[in-house]
Every structure is written in structure tokens, then in C-alpha cells.
Amino acid sequence: LGDWKYQLGDTKLTYTDSYYSGGEHGGGYNMKEEIHLCKAGHFLYYDQSTVAAGGTDVSGYSGSTSQGHGSWNVTDKGGSFVLKLNFNDGTVREYSLGWGENQELYMNGYRYYRTWEGDYAPDCF
């Protein structure tokens, strides 16, 4: 449990996914999720998604939203570890945690990139 808190504290976790199909009626999506985890126990959360459908004149867009600040913790649920985000508005998000073969971080089965330095450092206030 302590190792997870050490590995995740003062890091920015980023997940991205995109898909585009070409052609006249093509479409696709682009999504990005960022979780800034600070050792002090608080976090920032951002997600942004863009969806486009149809030809060149038809598109839909869902803009970037900041979902506020809150506190985070890692809990042990029967031998598996879970990152728990407690948003200030009462929303709770949980992510099951795991490591890949080369120490890649997986949350809920999806790969997240861990960064902590320079331009990719977390925004810990």
C-alpha cells in the first residue's frame, strides 16, 4: 500500500485514445484524461474529448472541463489495490491498479503514462 502511494505521489497520470476513419463520411474521436496526484493528498483532474462525425461540415464537440479538486488515496480491496479520487463535489472515482511487464502503469485495464519532471510535471499547488 505504501509503495503505491510512493509510486503515484507527485506524478501526472495521462491516458489518451483516438480513432479516425477516413473518407467522405468518416469520423472519429480523441480523448485525453489527466490526473495530477500530489503527495500532500490532493489532486487535479482534467478530461477533454472531441467527437467528429460525418463529412467536412458536420461535427460535434465536447469541450475541456475541469472537474475540480479533491483528495486521493490508495486502498487495498481484497488483495488488489485501488486509486480512489474523492472530488470536492462528492463524486468518487475508483481505478484498479496494476503494473505491466516493463513497469507500465495500468488503471482499470488501460495504460496510463506517469510523468513527474519538467513540462510533464504534475501541477501540485
CA angle 5, 2, 92 (to 5 degrees): 45
Burial level of 66, CB count in 10 A (0-12/13-18/19+)?
Answer: exposed
Task: Specify whether the CB–CB gap between 32 and 13 falls below 8 A.
Answer: no
pTM: 0.78
Tell me: the pLDDT tens digits for 80-99? 999 999 998 899 999 999 99
Tell me: the pLDDT tens digits for 15-67? 999 887 877 777 787 889 999 999 989 999 988 877 665 544 443 333 333 43
d(CA 109, CA 83): 13
